Amino acid sequence: MNEKSLALGINVKNLIPYNVLIIDDSRIDTLLLKQYLQSEMFNIAFTVENGAQGLEILREFGHTIDIVCIDYDMPVKNGIETLREIKQHFPDKITIMITAYPSKEVVNEVYKLKVNSLIVKPINKSQIVEKFANILGRKDLLTKTVVAYKNTTGIDLNDLKIPPVPSVMLKVLQFDSSTSGGSAELEKIIAPDKALSLDILRIANSSFYGRSGMVKTLKDAITLLGMKTVKNLVILQSKKQFSKNLVGALFKKYIVELPILSSLVCFDLIAPLNVKHLKEGIFTLSLLRKIGSTVLAMNFNKRYQEVLRLAEFGTKSIIQIEKEEFNTDSVEIGIRVFKTWNMPPEYMEIVKNQNFSIEELKNVSDYDRVTRVGEIIGKKLLSTLIPPEEEELYKAIFEYYKAPPELMEVFGEDYYDNIKSHPYFM
């Protein structure tokens, strides 16, 4: 039988329906979930009203249960207490937490217990199919899921205002030190932009480089910092111009800090992952791969703040929320921006592949893999919630490069404290 013809509730390995235990004190929610799952051929083995009853069922019939759906707020023994015991005694069970109150604290607590998925009430069938298809590896069914977009909030891409690419940024991107005349030519490109020149001088004189007040000219700054560093600074400062009017903690975190932090992490990953051939372009590609988010935020300030606020809960990715809010996403916008700017093909690819799945890991480029893991590490350093599928991908990328396990431990609080003093981040 063709896998695509199988219902979601049928295990493709043995053609037997998955057995589901539902633990929820709401009779209406239980009936609704049961109805949705049965329509996809899942077998609802048991339904109980609290965690204590659920654990009794598992102790007696645990060997027959494949999936446990647990409500967060229940009497006698709540969802978190129940989940802790399930993880302790039945670690191989697929667990799905359901809640009507997805506060950041709740989501953080749930993900710490490595729940397979989190579903937010009120539930609907497309949401259930999407979540279960992801958990069970049924990607073939995801394209069939109908997502109810908000028709009233969609945007016309023709009305989108794309900022012009700064001429100095475009010239620097095209600059090749081996053929373009070296640092003297780079100085000629940058010098007309007085604000940018002052920024580079300020950074050259920062305590990070130990030359406080000693660097007087742009030429000396380029000599001290090196042409690659100066090129990175030009791109960084140009990008910051796009976001200068985006005010607020969420914009600061996701639009300003995360791209810079991710880019610095990528640069520090080059040697340990043995991908030194990425050194020339990794910082710039990592910094600009999310340009679509910046342009969306510039065009729809308040609406994009709401997208980021919802993303803080960790129940959906930013891409999913963008699609629901705008009928498009930052990937599509990023491609449109780079086409308008006439950027090189490798920039288009880094935008297209920015959200690749674990199944696509071997088919994407080193740039895609390293920038993706750099972003995940950046999120961790900024205490952003990481959904289970992204956590799995994070580990898979390190395994792909045969990196030692201790490498993941390098990017912790001490690393973050040190990186805060880097002139790029400051």
Which pLDDT value is given to residue 145?
Answer: 40
Backbone angles phi, psi at 216, to 5 degrees: -105, -25
Residue 224 lies inside a defined structural domain of this protein: yes
Answer yes or no: is 161 within a domain. Answer: no
| 255 lies in the same domain as 332 | yes
pLDDT band, very low/low/confident/very high, at 273 (cuts 50, 70, 90): very high
Chain centroid to CA 139:
19
Helix (H) / strand (E) containing 150: none
CA 362/CA 211 separation, integer angstroms: 44
| 155 lies in some domain | no
- 368 and 300 in a single domain? The answer is yes
Average pLDDT for 193-221: 83
Q: Based on the fold, state whether residues 189 and 138 are members of the same structural domain.
A: no
Looking at 23-37, 204-218, 281-295, 332-346, which range is the least confident one? 204-218
pLDDT at residue 236, as a whole number: 86
Q: What is the overall mean pLDDT for the chain?
A: 86
Domain at 326, CATH number: 1.10.3210.10
407 shares a domain with 300: yes
Assess if residue 401 is contained within a domain: yes
What's the CATH code of the domain at 55? 3.40.50.2300
Q: Which helix (H) or strand (E) holds 44?
A: strand 43-48
Q: What is the pLDDT of residues 34-84, one digit of tens each?
A: 999 999 999 999 999 999 999 999 999 989 999 999 998 888 888 899 999
Against a cut of 0.75, is the pTM above it? no
Q: Does residue 187 register a pLDDT over 90? A: no
Is residue 306 pLDDT above 90, yes or no? no
Lowest mean pLDDT among 30-34, 106-110, 326-330, 372-376: 106-110
Asked whether the predicted pLDDT for residue 426 surpasses 70, the reply is no
**CA 324, 328, 330, 334: dihedral to nearest 10 degrees?**
180
Task: To the nearest 10°, report the CA torsion of 319, 324, 328, 330.
Answer: -30
* In a shared domain, residues 236 and 371: yes
Instruction: Indicate the residue among 120, 148, 176 that finishes a domain.
Output: 148
Asked if 293 and 408 sit in the same domain, the reply is: yes
Asked, for residue 156, whether it belongs to a domain, the answer is no
Claim to verify: residue 239 and residue 379 sit in the same structural domain? yes
State the pLDDT at residue 224.
86
Same domain, 235 and 139: no
355 and 253 inside one domain:
yes
Q: Are residues 316 and 206 in the same domain?
A: yes
Under 8 Å between Cβ of 416 and 384: no
Range of the domain at 276: 167-419
Residue 96 lies in a domain: yes
User: If we measure between CA atoms, which residue out of 76, 83, 71, 72 comes closest to residue 47?
Assistant: 71
Say what the pLDDT of residue 50 is.
Answer: 92
Instruction: Give residue 174's pLDDT.
Output: 79
Written as six digits, the tokens of 185 are 């030519």
pLDDT at 151: 38
- Nearest Cα neighbor of 319 from 267, 389, 252, 367 is 389
Q: How far apart are CA 262 and CA 377, in angstroms?
A: 7
Q: Clarify whether residues 243 and 137 are in a common domain.
A: no
> Domain boundary residue among 117, 148, 179?
148
Region 3-27: mean pLDDT is 89
Dihedral sign for Cα atoms in the order 367, 372, 377, 382: positive
The single-letter DSSP state of residue 99 is E
Has residue 94 got a pLDDT over 90? yes
Using one digit for the tens of pLDDT, what is the confidence trace for 366-417?
A: 999 999 999 999 998 988 877 778 888 999 999 999 999 889 889 888 888 8
Within a domain: 232: yes
Axis-axis angle for helices 79-89, 104-112 (nearest 10): 10
Higher pLDDT, 374 or 319: 374
Number of domains forming the structure of the chain: 2
Q: Which of 119, 148, 177 is the last residue of a domain?
A: 148
The reported pLDDT for the residue numbered 194 is 87
Q: What does the pLDDT read at residue 275?
A: 94
Q: Looking at residue 314, what is its pLDDT?
A: 64
pLDDT per position as a tens digit, 377-391 = 999 898 887 777 888
**46 plus 103 within the same structural domain:** yes
Q: What percent of the chain shows pLDDT beyond 70? A: 92
- pLDDT of residue 252 exceeding 50: yes
Is 424 part of a structural domain of the chain? no
pLDDT in tens, 138-169: 877 764 443 333 434 567 777 789 988 888 88
| pLDDT reported for residue 204 | 85
The residue that leads in pLDDT, 33 or 121, is: 33
